Chain A
Amino acid sequence: MTILVIAEHDNKALAPATLNTVAAAAKIGGDIHVLVAGQGAGAVAEAAAKIAGVAKVLSADNAAYAHQLPENVAPLVAELGKAYSHILAAATSNGKNILPRVAAALDVDQISEIISVESADTFQRPIYAGNAIATVQSTAAIKVITVRATGFDPVAAEGGSAAVEAVSAAHDAGISSFVNEELAKSDRPELTAAKIVVSGGRGMQNGDNFKHLYALADKLGAAVGASRAAVDAGFVPNDMQVGQTGKIVAPQLYIAVGISGAIQHLAGMKDSKVIVAINKDEEAPIFQVADYGLVADLFEAVPELEKLV
């Protein structure tokens, strides 16, 4: 049994979610190969070769893969994937974009967002906004799987010494092209990888008031998230959204400020180790999942909290 893991990266650095995906692969068992498809991504391939437990790195470096367009990357993965028992990618926007195309090309079904490996063919995944956990057995010849990063503790980024093998196959479907992108700028830790997350909701009232959360986050070394209500109201950009339709986080500490706790939001954060809720409405559903609840006006409580931590 050999497992192919698709590396998550931006051509410059390997994304941490790759380490969680390799951890899932290690639970399945067997040799683990990592595919780095990109352009000028030599440093990423080198980083992938150092991951503990990786036996081989395949480096497909080509202009066609520069922006990881699924029309070009999926045929590559499907072609290489025929030799593997499992193909895994992180359930990031990239992984979720590419992998179903790979599955269709291989004429197999995909299993999305697994949170645990029961055996080589049986996996657990959340359904219905995390209100049920399904155990699914796959009979597909090649198992195509996306991995929810928060379900698996990352493997060590150092310690391996895999060989890097160049893959020459170039697929350019010529039916799509990258126009441009706008990256949200932030010096704080990445939301899905942060140990502490401070999130604001509609109760923040406006985008300017998020400065209170940024100040607290900087003191804690935390990332700042938001509820869908805060994003839809235009307080913060959408890449900060935590929830079923945004990012799934499971930090050590999640501080929900002015967030009521709709099921859509809970699906994105209820696996956090410790949850703190600060809300002036004591009936807010967020208090049902909070380990520590503080019924208070956030505009008094957050600055005070910032002073005391």
Chain B
Amino acid sequence: MRGGKTGITIQSKQGWYGACVRPSRIDPKCQGAVRRTMKVLVAVKRAIDPNVKVRVKADGSDVELGGVKMALNPFCEIAVEEAIRLKEKGVASEVVVVSVGTSAAQEQLRTALALGADRALLVETNAVLEPLSVAKYLSKVIDQEKPQLILFGKQAIDQENNQVGQMVAQLIGSGQATYASAINQVDGQWVVEREVDSGSQVLALAMPAVVTCDLRLNQPRYASLPNIMKAKKKPLEIIAADTLGASVKEHARLLGVVPPAVRKAGINVGSVAELVDKLKNVAGVI
């Protein structure tokens, strides 16, 4: 347990965090009902397989993606896993996965269904998407679906923007917890432990909330063959992006891509003494 590792205790009822946020005034009798309809929406992205070493195109226009293996972004996998665990714990009642992109992203949505999501939505568009556009489409989907928790990966490993979750939270006016390492539901709030530069931090968020998932949140499972077969029969709805009424516009233009500077070839030293000599007298760094 992550919470256990850092010694953070999550108090229930009358907990001190309860006083900080506008407390949930849900009648205890209704709380069961709330829980029965606790919907978790997970946004996922089709991205380059993390084990592929990308190459810059010869003309420097972009990276080479033709014929490259694609996969579910690793942080999105963690988000899907967390949603499924919340369902297995009886906290969530339904897990819906959504992706914005080309029809090829159906493959990644099927993967998420095979992992245990109940149904999938694809907001289909062939446009080159900036994070704000994705966030706008997703916020329209959220308006329709009304989930109590929206999970994201903390960033996609291709463009490495680390923006969409935060932008969605702003657009729908909800609280956010980025870089989550533990997620608990306590008294009608989401209590989230997050990884920050100086250690860890715990926040309490009113529902609905946006949470972006960090590496240590969980270890995603593998899809079993029977579940992959079953996933083919689960519902996957395709929504044309332009029917959502989001006002998207373009703000950034990719002018070109270059490979990173290549480091000069190094040398192997034979002993610690030689290493110290090089660092002192050649590199001059100690």
Contact = CB atoms under 8 A, between A and B. Distances in A.
Interface centre among A96, A107, A244, A275 (most CB of B within 10 A): A96
Interface string B236-257: 0000000000000011111111
Given A100-B166, A101-B170, A131-B54, A177 B267 contact: no
B63 interface: yes
A112 B160 contact: yes
B266 to A, nearest CB: 4
A176 B272 contact: no
Which secondary structure dominates chain B's binding surface? mixed
A177 B20 contact: yes
Which secondary structure dominates chain A's binding surface? mixed
Nearest to B195: A238
Given A182-B200, A239-B195, A103 B159 contact: no
A287 interface: yes
A308 B276 contact: yes
Contacts of A301: 272
B268 interface: yes
Interface stretch (B27-35, B88-96, B201-209): B201-209
A274 B252 contact: no
B106 interface: no
Contact of B216 (A110, A232, A253): A232
A37 B50 CA distance: 37
A10 B263 CA distance: 36
Contact of A176 (B53, B175, B276): B175
Interface stretch (B109-117, B142-150, B277-285): B277-285
Interface string A254-296: 0000000001100000100111100000100001011111111
B251 A294 contact: no
Interface string B186-222: 0000010001111111111110010000111000000
A53 interface: no
Contacts of A220: 286
A309 B201 CA distance: 38
B103 interface: no
Nearest to A91: B162
Contact of A139 (B251, B278, B285): B251
Given A101-B166, A175-B175, A305-B272, A276 B279 contact: yes
Contacts of B279: 253, 274, 276, 292, 309
A137 B255 contact: yes
Contacts of B268: 282, 287, 292-295
B40 interface: no
B160 A126 contact: yes
B132 A104 contact: yes
A239 B214 CA distance: 12
A88 to B, nearest CB: 15
Contacts of A282: 268
A220 B272 CA distance: 15
Interface string A83-110: 0000000001110111111011101111
Interface residues of A, number: 90
Interface string B38-80: 0000000000101001101000000100000000000000000
B252 A132 contact: no
Given A70-B166, A97-B178, A101-B167, A308 B272 contact: yes
A275 B122 CA distance: 45
Nearest to A173: B175
A130 B256 CA distance: 15
Contacts of A96: 162, 178
Contacts of A39: none
A177 B17 contact: yes
A128 B48 contact: yes
A109 B178 contact: no
Nearest to B191: A179
A298 to B, nearest CB: 11
Interface string B138-173: 000000000000000010011111111111111101
B260 interface: yes
A238 B179 CA distance: 12
A133 B175 contact: no
A101 B174 CA distance: 11
B229 interface: no
7 contacts: A70-B176, A94-B197, A100-B131, A104-B170, A134-B254, A180-B8, A253-B286
Interface of A: 10, 67, 69-71, 74, 92-94, 96-101, 103-105, 107-113, 122, 126-140, 173-184, 192, 196, 220, 228, 231-232, 234, 237-239, 244-245, 247, 252-253, 263-264, 270, 273-276, 282, 287, 289-296, 301, 304-305, 308-309
Given A128-B48, A174-B22, 11 more contacts: A131-B260, A132-B257, A135-B254, A139-B251, A139-B253, A176-B204, A176-B206, A178-B203, A182-B6, A275-B266, A293-B269
